[in-house]
Amino acid sequence: MASKTKQNKREDAKKDEPAPQASQVSMSDLTSLLEEHRKSISSALSTELKTAFASLETKLDVIQATVTENGERIASLETNANLNEDRFQALETSCATLTELCAKLKAKNTDLEGRSRRNNLRIIGLPESIEGPRPTNFFSDALVEIFGDKVLDAPPELDRAHRTFAATPRQGDRPRPVIVCFHRHQTKDLVIREARKRRNDLKYKDTPVRIYEDYCPEILEQRAAYRDIMAELYNLGLRPALLYPARLQITGKEGNKRRFASVEEATTFVRTRLDS
């Protein structure tokens, strides 16, 4: 009995002893494994980071090259812009000079054309193709028939006489105006004064005709701008008249005269008369 009791105490003592040395070896191995795993992960992360950084460096190099190239382009554009600004200013100055010169030349051309037409008159209403092969002689005789021998004691001397350069009208259409060029300005002036006096009484073989000055298109356009204001002046009992090239002269009821160089001035005058 005593031997069994001792044996049991020995077994209990063994149970109370610390864990075998094998447990401590396993923990060390685990620590080593964890350390190796950490190093492996660290190595993998380091490789990935190096790859990522290398890719970023490549992209940054590309971006840097692009930025540098864009900077050079912008600098070139700014330089060219400054040069172009100077060129634009020079062009604007040249354009303004040319515009002014063109306006002067246009005014001179209009004046020269107007002077070349000073001896011309425009006859409207004469039937088409009645002049025959010698229009100068025919229209010279026609003027005597229109005005009578009390105004023209002989057929006036004409340098030229022709229809306007338009297409020949069809049957029943309005005939083309006739342009006659007088050899002497005094005769032309006599005819136009008489035509203004007998504005609605001029006839050729029972055909009503009208006779006007022959103005160039630019002058006609300037004079046409006064049409409405002249109608208002007639309604006010005034006597408007257009002087060459396009200056309005107003003769009042007392005989006093006023001249206006533009439609705006004449319009202001009429509005003042209407308001007063």
- Residues 209 and 165 grouped into a single domain: yes
Residue 194: pLDDT over 90: yes
- Predicted pLDDT at 232: 87
- Residues 96 and 152 grouped into a single domain: no
- Residues 251 and 191 grouped into a single domain: no
- Residue 213, amino acid: E
Where residue 146 sits, what CATH number does that domain have?
Answer: 3.30.70.1820
What is the percent of the chain where pLDDT is above 90? 49
- Predicted pLDDT at 252: 78
| Residue 54 resides in a domain | no
- Residues 160 and 183 grouped into a single domain: yes
The residue ranking higher by pLDDT, 151 or 40, is: 151
Q: Which two tokens stand for residue 34?
A: 């964890």
Where residue 222 sits, what CATH number does that domain have?
Answer: 3.30.250.20
- Predicted pLDDT at 270: 83
Per-residue pLDDT of 85-98, as tens digits, reads: 878 888 899 999 99
| Residue 208 resides in a domain | yes
The residue ranking higher by pLDDT, 30 or 21, is: 30
**How far is the CA of 219 from the CAs of 35, 189, 258, in angstroms?**
107, 19, 21
- Predicted pLDDT at 6: 53
Beta bridge partners of 203: 208
Domain termination residue (choose one: 214, 238, 261) = 214
- Predicted pLDDT at 23: 45
Instruction: Write out the E strands in the chain.
Output: 120-124, 158-163, 178-182, 203-204, 207-208, 210-213, 239-243, 247-251, 257-260
Q: What is the mean pLDDT of residues 63-85?
A: 87
- Residues 169 and 155 grouped into a single domain: yes
When pLDDT is cut at 50, 70 and 90, the band that residue 9 belongs to is low
Residue 3: pLDDT over 70: no
Could you tell me the sign of the dihedral formed by the alpha carbons of 121, 126, 127, 131, in that order?
Answer: negative
| Residue 87 resides in a domain | yes
- Residues 127 and 203 grouped into a single domain: yes
Per-residue pLDDT of 137-187, as tens digits, reads: 999 999 999 999 899 999 999 999 999 999 999 988 999 999 999 999 999
Which of these, 126, 142, 128, 113, lies nearest to 214 by C-alpha position?
A: 113
- Residues 147 and 195 grouped into a single domain: yes
Tally of domains in the chain? 3
Across the chain, how many H-helices and E-strands are there? 7, 9
| Residue 49 resides in a domain | no
SS3 category, 131: coil
| Residue 196 resides in a domain | yes
Which of these, 263, 272, 211, lies nearest to 240 by C-alpha position?
A: 263
- Residues 193 and 242 grouped into a single domain: no
Could you tell me the sign of the dihedral formed by the alpha carbons of 58, 61, 63, 65, in that order?
Answer: negative
- Residue 262's domain comprises 218-275
- Residues 232 and 206 grouped into a single domain: no
SS3 category, 259: strand
The span from the CA of 159 to the CA of 182, in Å, is 6
- Residues 129 and 209 grouped into a single domain: yes
- Residues 223 and 259 grouped into a single domain: yes
Q: What is the total residue count of the chain? A: 276
